Amino acid sequence: MNLKVDICGKTLKNPVIAASGCFGFGREMSIQYDLNTLGGIALKAVTAQKRIGNPPPRIAETPSGMLNAVGLQNSGVDQFIVKEMPFLDKLDTILFANVAGSTIEEYIEVTEKLQNIAVDFIELNISCPNVKEGGNAFGAEPDTIYKVVKQVKKVSKQPLIVKLSPNTVDIAANAVAAQEAGADGISLINTLIGMSVDVDRKRPILANISGGLSGPAIKPVALSMVYKVAQAVSIPIIGMGGIMTGRDAVEFLLCGATAVMCGTLNLIEPDGIPNVIAGIEEYMTQHKIDDINELIGGLIV
Amino acid sequence: MAKRIPNCRITSNELVADDTYLMQFECVTKNATPGQFVHLRVTGRDDLILRRPISINSIDTKNNIIKLIIQAKGEGTKALCVLKAGDVMDIISPTGRGYMLSKKVKKAAVIGGGIGVAPLKYLIEYYKNVEFDSYLGFRSDCYAYQLDEFKALSNKLYVCTDDGTYGEKGFVTNRLDMNLEKEQYDVVLACGPKPMLGSLKKVIDKHKVPCFVSLEERMGCGIGLCKVCVCKTQEDGEENYERVCLDGPVFDINKVVL
Ligand SMILES: Cc1cc2nc3c(=O)[nH]c(=O)nc-3n(C[C@H](O)[C@H](O)[C@H](O)COP(=O)(O)O)c2cc1C
Ligand code: FES
């Protein structure tokens, strides 16, 4: 049975990648299982300078989902390289460095600093809903997407994956803009902007008031966006949003994703991703499919 | 080390005070230190996707039983409280960094408020060679639990209620403040709601005793991945947010901003 997929000339052992922000820099999870069994890891977002993030509470549970408002807490790209890379360097899996920023200059600065670092992909996070500047502001409109992708692409030797926000008017137009600006792939979706209210205290649950919705609740939205984007672009797509099982992952592959990412799953099940991989294998056995690539875009409509 | 154990059988779940349950379940746990917690899925409620952190109240190592005190407060804890003997739970255990006492500690005070009293029992049971005075605060008589056990385990026991229906009327931090005028403790170990810990900080600043507090925060993964569970810390003038689930829940009171 072949589980290998290819993205921009790089081979993933299987199509299941840990999503950014839900896996730290891998260290904590490495005591749970062998990280080399993963298709890849999207690392926590890094910015040019250290950011302390938003005040707590940063999480709220919602029906079949959750809101988060971490606000890009990280020690900055320099510390990332010094503190996290020695551990990550030893892994035999595909690494996606998730790059965030408030300005185009910041995205460029971070990407430049990652040039001689052993990460396989740059994942450009223009879709974080939890910071005041940048983030989603870059990811909402085709012309700003075009601008930032074009500039970052100039300095990036690694293939550039652009992570799109669902908080937009026309996701397909945004994906096309990224492709035209030189993106090598698209990942989607980041979280949906949402709120939750404590009616007894008449206050928002999140200190940030609003946050990003993730988990099973967003899977139908994510699938329809992946499907739309797959119709509109020719570059590979990495799909995510609410994947909890192997069968969920297969849904995304059928809709046109070459690989998938699992985020919230890791917050619930420390052994979640290995179970998703096993679930995909089980599905393939049941359906007598030898090569996972047969599933990609295989939706019958 | 924190590991997922998907099939822990509940052996009993009984009311011990208003809205407060003592849940016992089978689980082989080695090396769980006091202050550490277990992270529970809510059995039968897949729509509540997050786990609930509940600190360890006691461990019966001979029979491999973990005991928890759960307050039926939100939707998830209410659903946990109606589980019955024979029901199965999916847990991650043990998680977090607990109370670590050096060998030099001979005499200590534990101070807890409400549901924060629960982990102090495992703490006293665990450090058998330390002499403990216990300071427990409850809103009212009807919310007090395990007082007999604390009485048996402690050198001295002080109980305060907000309304005076049991023990002394008032805040337990005031009782500690008064006692610190004459009593010497090597360390003070606390767990309770934020306002109580805020008052405790003033008492500790005044008497200059080493003090460690266990914090509560809304959690996601419980194992250090997602950074949603943070508390504000201050060290050498630099402010940071640290993870309550992995860097804590027990912190030096001088390090956290309360
Ligand atoms: C706690 C948390 C933190 C996140 N942090 C990031 C981040 O730093 N960068 C990013 O691109 N996406 C971040 N995300 C979004 C996820 O990578 C993913 O796009 C989203 O959660 C949808 O997938 P899921 O339903 O599988 O979680 C975060 C999500 C969560 C829940
Ligand atoms: S709950 Fe995820 S880091 Fe603490």
Residue B29: predicted pLDDT: 82
Between CA B101 and CA B112 the distance in angstroms is 17
Domain boundaries, chain B: 3-95, 107-216
Atom 28 in ligand 1: which residue has the minimum CA distance?
A: A21
Query: Which phi and psi angles does A177 have, rounded to 5°?
Result: -60, -40
Quick check: is A200 in a domain? no
Smallest Cα–Cα separation from A57: which of B67, B55, B74? Answer: B74
Question: How many Cβ atoms are within 10 Å of A102's Cβ, its own excluded?
Answer: 19
Residue A218 Cα: closest atom of ligand 1: 25
Interface probe for A, chosen from B91, B92, B219, B225 (most Cβ of A below 10 Å), is B225
Instruction: Using CB atoms, pick whichever of B225, B232, B239 lies closest to residue A267.
Output: B225
Smallest Cα–Cα separation from A139: which of A96, A183, A73? Answer: A183
Between CA A282 and CA B97 the distance in angstroms is 38
**Token code pair at residue B18:** 């208003």
3-state secondary structure of A47: coil
Angle at B123 between CA B104 and CA B105, to 5 degrees: 10
List pLDDT tens digits, range A61-114: 999 999 999 999 999 999 999 999 999 999 999 999 999 999 999 999 999 999
Between CA A160 and CA A149 the distance in angstroms is 8
Nearest residue in B to A43, CA atom = B225
DSSP secondary structure letters along A271-300: THHHHHHHHHHHHHHHTT-SBGGGTTT---
Tell me the pTM: 0.95
Known active-site residue A128: yes
List pLDDT tens digits, range B60-118: 999 999 999 999 999 999 999 999 999 999 999 999 999 999 999 999 999 999 999 99
CB-facing half-sphere around the CA of A31: CA atoms within 13 A: 11
Label the pairing between strands B65-71 and A259-262: unpaired
Chain B residues touching residue A64 (CB < 8 angstroms): 46-47, 49
Q: Are A175 and A151 in contact (CB under 8 A)?
A: no
Q: Which residues of A touch B (CB under 8 A)?
A: 21-24, 28-29, 31-32, 44, 52-53, 55-61, 63-66, 68, 70, 73, 215-216, 264, 266-271
List pLDDT tens digits, range A247-296: 999 999 999 999 999 999 999 999 999 999 999 999 999 999 999 999 99
Quick check: is A202 in a domain? no
Inter-chain contact B46–A64, Cβ cutoff 8 Å? yes
Distance of CA A253 to the CA centre of its chain: 15
Residue A139: predicted pLDDT: 80
Average the pLDDT over B50-59 and give the result. Answer: 97
Element housing B134 (H / E): strand B131-138
Residue A133 has pLDDT above 70, yes or no: no
Distance (Å) from the alpha carbon of B118 to chain A's nearest alpha carbon: 23
Between CA B114 and CA A181 the distance in angstroms is 58
Smallest Cα–Cα separation from B219: which of B256, B247, B189? Answer: B247
Q: Quick one: DSSP state of residue A64?
A: T
Between CA B194 and CA B200 the distance in angstroms is 10
Residue B237: predicted pLDDT: 86
CB-facing half-sphere around the CA of B23: CA atoms within 13 A: 32
Nearest residue in B to A60, CA atom = B218
The dotted CATH code for B107-216 is: 3.40.50.80
Beta strands in A83-145 (DSSP E): 94-99, 121-125
Residue B194: predicted pLDDT: 92
Angle at A60 between CA A56 and CA A65, to 5 degrees: 145
Between CA A99 and CA A273 the distance in angstroms is 23
What radius of gyration, in Å, describes the C-alpha atoms of chain B? 18
Quick check: is A263 in a domain? yes
A126: CATH:
3.20.20.70
Ramachandran area for residue B99 (φ above 0: left; ψ -120 to 50: alpha; else beta):
beta
Between CA B230 and CA B251 the distance in angstroms is 12
Handedness of CA A57, A62, A64, A67 (dihedral sign): negative
Between CA B233 and CA B142 the distance in angstroms is 35
Query: What value of ipTM does the predicted structure carry?
Result: 0.92
> B131 CA to middle of ligand 2, Å?
34
Q: Quick one: DSSP state of residue B244?
A: T
Residue A88: predicted pLDDT: 97
Domain span at residue A100 reads 5-55+65-195+212-294
List pLDDT tens digits, range A173-228: 999 999 999 999 999 999 999 999 999 999 999 999 999 999 999 999 999 999 99
List pLDDT tens digits, range B7-40: 999 999 999 999 999 999 999 887 899 999 999 9
Q: Are B22 and B28 in contact (CB under 8 A)?
A: no
The CATH fold assigned to B3-95 is Elongation Factor Tu (Ef-tu); domain 3 (2.40.30)
Residue B236 has pLDDT above 90, yes or no: no
Average the pLDDT over B155-178 and give the result. Answer: 96
Distance (Å) from the alpha carbon of B240 to chain A's nearest alpha carbon: 6
Mutation probe of ligand 1 site: the residue of A22, A107, A245, A260 with most atoms within 8 A of C-beta:
A22
Average the pLDDT over B109-136 and give the result. Answer: 97
3-state secondary structure of B88: strand
The mean of the pLDDT values for chain B is 95
**Token code pair at residue A301:** 């409509």
**How many domains does chain A divide into?**
1
